[in-house]
Amino acid sequence: MRILGISGSLRRDSHNTSLLRAAAMSLPSGVELELFDGLGDLPHYNADIDEDPAPEAVARLREAIAGADGVLVATPEFNGSIPGVLKNALDWASRPFPDNALRGMPVAVVGASTGLFGAVWAQAEVRKVLQTIGADVIDSELPVGQAHVAFGDDGHLADAGMRHALEGLVAVLATRAGAAEAMAI
């Protein structure tokens, strides 16, 4: 089973990409997580270029989502909300509507920020956007605050409670993704 990880940060040493890597080390057996690395290549959404065939970077995103059994989004928080680069990707992924790659796709959302609250507002808004798109959104959050000190040298979340929460959330995602995969067969 394959989970696609989408980090909403393009930064080289992104805490949210670190969070996805921590999630990759916490997966149930038989599940792998692939990090999508093409977010920065996407053009700004423009209906004039939203045609068939799609721009190459857009096609890559849609194919990566369509080829996954579930999606794990890690979002930073900019001014209390979703970073533009992530919203742009979700807008592209939502097209064509309603038969888009995210429709019915099990998706979980996590987030990290260097403040106290772990991108909790951005996570809520990402879930809202994903629900509008038609994804099967897991109604749970994982706010990793003070992200600059949240990870141990081994890449795992340093706090045991947070580590278990992440394991629990990806286990729920994998179960939901497994159920979706079984239905597809």
Partner 1 sequence: MSITLQQVPTDTYTADPVHSSFGFGVRYNGVATFRSSFDKVDAQLADRVLTGSADVRSIVIDEPRFKGHLLADDFFDVENTPTITFRSTDIRLAEDGTAELDGDLTIRGVTKPVTAKGTFAVGGDAFGNDRIGLEVQTTVDRREFGLNWQMTKPDGSEALAYDVTISAELQLVKQA
Question: Which residues of this chain interact with partner 1, rule CB under 8 A?
Answer: 80, 114-117, 120-121, 123-124, 141, 143, 145-146, 148-149
Closest contact distance (angstroms) between CB of 178 and partner 1 is: 28
Residue 90 burial (CB < 10 Å; 0-12/13-18/19+)?
A: buried
Q: What span, in angstroms and rounded, lies between the C-alpha atoms of 4 and 35? A: 6
Residue 71 burial (CB < 10 Å; 0-12/13-18/19+)?
A: buried
Closest contact distance (angstroms) between CB of 21 and partner 1 is: 20
Alpha-helix residue ranges (DSSP H) falling in 25-82:
56-66
Q: Residue 183 CA to chain centroid, in angstroms?
A: 22
Q: Rounded to 5 degrees, what are φ and ψ at 108? A: -120, 150
Quick check: 170 and 108 in contact, CB under 8 A? yes
Three-state DSSP class for residue 43: coil
Closest CA to 169 of 114, 125, 127: 127
